[in-house]
């Protein structure tokens, strides 16, 4: 298994360091973290490392992954990130301690299911602050749901409220929208006459506020995946977190062809295998290498970042990535392996793909 490609190399020593670093920063600000494992397919070795690093809560939108967490670490609190389907409630309750919710119908069904199972379940009511994915949009509807859970659903416990920003509508978390979340939490606390345990201020896009000290007081919980594993968000947001390792995950792919070829396809241009009409720039002949890895393995190949900065990514297809090695000082040969840093989409695809092998670095790094 040592020399099988393509593969993702995962440095568990650096990952544990990242967990400890982020938890330390969160603790300074009175914030707890639920580590999101959906982006790494809840790989068992990664789950163990996240727990060893100090995480007490892990979350996912996939029940099979939460079941994996509970099988490995029954003591860990689990959080269901996607609003549950009515068809999966019993399974969800058995493997998830908390779920995010926005529908009265679902909340009542959770209560009924818990009654049958002779158990209880915690919920976080989600608020839509403008990103337009899940969440109560009208304040009074949120308050009505909170009071219903508090006073009428005996087997459901209102743990808190939360929001999602950035995943659909690309709305950036800031003091204004997260400040509104804390205001809503305060009003719910006034109406139910007790404090909420969780005010969850979003996901990895809220980390810049955590770092610069502008996370509104009252936000005490974040759901973090990307920032534990990568540093790609620093490319899109105005912040840096140099204490974190950005090379926990490395993609390695083997060269299967090296040829000197034109840069522009020859013939009538239509669409590629995915129905897209690409634009090709004619820059003359260049030295191209084919790699045995493609979009079926990784998704968007343009998010590959070669460690050899002289390599240029040209494109690819389902099973191939094409790179320009003309300007590289290295004399690449057939069978050589090219290494890449990655962004979130590639992390999600590669850790889930059965066609991408996984190699774990567990020793001294």
38 among known catalytic residues: yes
Which of these is catalytic: 38, 108, 287, 359? Answer: 38
| Structural contact between residues 125 and 158, judged by C-beta atoms closer than 8 angstroms | yes
Bridging pattern class, strands 198-200 and 156-163:
parallel
Q: Are 67 and 260 within 8 A, CB to CB?
A: no
Q: Which two tokens stand for residue 147?
A: 């009071």
Residues sharing a CB contact under 8 Å with residue 15, sequence separation 6 or more, in sequence order: 46, 49, 50, 53, 228, 229, 245, 248
The angle, 0 to 180 degrees and rounded to 10, between the axes of the packed helices 63-72 and 44-52 is: 60
Tell which phi-psi region holds residue 293, choosing left (phi > 0), alpha (psi between -120 and 50) or beta: beta
Q: Which residue shows structure tokens 């973290």? A: 33
First to last CA, the chain: 21
Residues annotated as part of the active site: 38
């Amino acid at each position: 298994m040592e020399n099988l490609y393509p593969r993702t190399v995962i440095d568990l020593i650096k990952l544990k360091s990242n967990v400890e670093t982020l938890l330390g920063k969160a603790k300074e600000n009175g914030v707890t973290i639920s580590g999101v494992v959906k982006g790494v397919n809840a790989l068992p070795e990664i789950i163990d490392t996240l727990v060893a690093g100090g995480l007490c809560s892990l979350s996912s939108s996939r029940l099979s992954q939460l079941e994996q967490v509970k099988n490995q670490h029954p003591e860990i609190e689990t959080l269901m990130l996607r609003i549950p389907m009515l068809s999966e409630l019993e399974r969800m309750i058995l493997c998830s301690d908390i779920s995010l919710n926005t529908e009265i119908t679902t909340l009542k069904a959770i209560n009924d299911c818990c009654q049958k199972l002779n158990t209880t379940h915690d919920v976080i009511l989600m608020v839509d602050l403008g990103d337009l994915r899940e969440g109560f949009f009208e304040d009074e509807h949120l308050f009505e749901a909170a009071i219903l859970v508090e006073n009428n659903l005996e087997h459901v416990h209102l743990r808190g409220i939360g929001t999602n920003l950035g995943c659909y509508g690309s709305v950036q978390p800031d003091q204004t929208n997260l400040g509104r979340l804390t205001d809503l939490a305060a009003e719910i606390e006034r109406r139910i006459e007790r404090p909420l345990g969780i005010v969850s201020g979003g996901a990895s896009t809220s980390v810049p506020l955590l770092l610069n000290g502008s996370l509104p007081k009252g936000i005490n919980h974040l759901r973090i995946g990307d920032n534990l594993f990568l540093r790609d968000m620093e490319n899109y947001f105005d912040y840096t977190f140099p204490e974190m390792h950005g090379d926990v995950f490395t993609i390695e792919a083997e060269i299967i062809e090296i040829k000197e070829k034109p840069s522009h396809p020859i013939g009538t241009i239509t669409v590629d295998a995915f129905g897209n009409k690409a634009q090709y720039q004619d820059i003359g002949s260049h030295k191209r290498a084919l790699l045995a890895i493609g979009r079926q393995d990784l998704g968007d190949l343009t998010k590959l970042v070669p460690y050899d900065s002289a390599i240029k990514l040209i494109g690819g297809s389902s099973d191939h990535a094409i790179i320009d090695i003309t300007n590289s000082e290295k004399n690449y040969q057939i069978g050589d392996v090219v290494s890449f840093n990655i962004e979130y989409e590639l992390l999600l695809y590669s850790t889930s793909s059965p066609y991408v092998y996984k190699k774990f670095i567990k020793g001294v790094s």
